[in-house]
């Protein structure tokens, strides 16, 4: 019931964007401006807010295990992102979208609320570590993928964007236990709250330009989504459960690898890719988000 309620909230945001676009209140140009706010303001604030507004800290062995687990899982998803587009025979212009959706899940906009509700606020500390590393990866590998560039061609000076800088600040604040003023914490909390509604509205605006039945008519996307949301988590979670003896961390890992494609995938394609890629990413995010209402409970029931 909790997961269903969270999904309903996200889809209400999508419907608002969809309806506004259909009525001509929001268009593609306006959507790009919203995307800029999400990518450069709201999402970086989400990472900082998870640290400065968190309750307590993870230290010692738990911190090391959590960090290593996050590196292995996120690194594994990047490796999978190189192979899954080939397995599902994605076309040359679709390949980068499938790579983004394979590498980046909706761990912030969907994962955080679900983790807090199911495992409590303390579990968000584990999720925050994932989020910090996730954002460094998103604003490096993610942007390069959206641009259609290989990692070997990265212009390293461009890596120092707002997303990476905010993630570095978050890591430094967390590790050094740097106190931050109340106005800063409140500002970051308020800005982070924009991320989910604005990003979902952008998805809705993108969907307004396509027949909705195409969402379920794309057999490649549908089979890919089932593999991503159901098959892979069920295969990998037993390994994680066997290696890690922290039940809360295992639960966080389950949510992290079972959540749908990140709405940031569509944001990045809109900011750095092309309109066709942004549309395909929007369809993928919407479809995986819808299917995850069913798949996450199934994964949880099978692996725990």
> What tens digit of pLDDT does each residue of 244-292 get?
988 889 999 999 999 999 988 988 888 888 878 888 898 898 889 888 8
Q: Is residue 302 part of a domain?
A: no
Domain ranges, residue 181: 2-296
CB within 8 Å of 10: residues ≥ 6 apart:
109, 110, 196, 200, 289
**For the whole prediction, is pTM greater than 0.85?**
no
Q: Is residue 117 part of a domain?
A: yes
- The total number of structural domains that make up the chain: 1
Q: Is residue 304 part of a domain?
A: no
pLDDT > 70 fraction of the chain, expressed in percent and rounded: 92
Q: What is the pLDDT of residues 199-245, one digit of tens each?
A: 888 878 877 877 777 778 889 999 999 999 999 999 999 999 999 98
**What pLDDT sits at residue 158?**
57
- Who has greater pLDDT, 114 or 86? 86
Please report, for the domain that includes residue 186, its CATH number. 1.20.1530.20
**Which long-range CB contacts under 8 A does 22-31 form with residues at least 24 apart?**
22/208, 26/201, 26/205, 27/205, 28/205, 28/209, 28/275, 30/205, 31/202, 31/205, 31/206, 31/270
Q: Is residue 301 part of a domain?
A: no
Q: Is residue 243 part of a domain?
A: yes
Q: Is residue 85 part of a domain?
A: yes
Q: Is residue 303 part of a domain?
A: no
Q: Is residue 58 part of a domain?
A: yes
């Amino acid at each position: 019931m909790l997961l269903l309620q969270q999904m309903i909230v996200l889809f209400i945001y999508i419907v608002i964007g969809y309806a506004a676009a259909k009525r001509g209140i929001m268009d593609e140009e306006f959507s790009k401006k919203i995307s800029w706010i999400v990518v450069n303001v709201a999402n970086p604030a989400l990472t900082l807010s998870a640290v400065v507004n968190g309750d307590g800290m993870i230290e010692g062995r738990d911190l090391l295990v959590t960090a290593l687990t996050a590196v292995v899982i996120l690194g594994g998803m990047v490796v999978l992102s190189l192979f899954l587009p080939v397995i599902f025979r994605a076309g040359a212009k679709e390949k980068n979208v499938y790579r983004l959706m394979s590498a980046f899940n909706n761990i912030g906009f969907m994962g955080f609320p679900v983790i807090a509700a199911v495992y409590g606020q303390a579990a968000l500390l584990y999720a925050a570590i994932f989020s910090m590393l996730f954002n460094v990866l998103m604003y490096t590998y993610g942007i390069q993928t959206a641009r259609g560039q290989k990692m070997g061609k990265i212009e390293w000076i461009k890596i120092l964007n707002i997303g990476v800088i905010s993630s570095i600040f978050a890591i430094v604040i967390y590790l050094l236990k740097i106190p931050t003023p109340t106005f800063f914490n409140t500002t970051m909390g308020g800005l982070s709250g924009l991320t989910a509604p604005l990003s979902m509205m952008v998805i809705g605006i993108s969907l307004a330009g396509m027949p909705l039945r195409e969402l379920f008519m794309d057999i490649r996307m549908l089979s890919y989504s089932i593999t991503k949301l159901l098959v892979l988590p069920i295969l990998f979670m037993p390994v994680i459960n066997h290696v890690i003896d922290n039940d809360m961390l295992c639960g966080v890992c389950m949510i992290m690898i079972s959540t749908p494609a990140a709405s940031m995938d569509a944001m990045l394609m809109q900011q750095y890719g092309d309109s066709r890629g942004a549309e395909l990413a929007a369809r993928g995010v919407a479809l995986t988000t819808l299917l995850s209402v069913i798949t996450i409970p199934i994964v949880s029931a099978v692996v725990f």
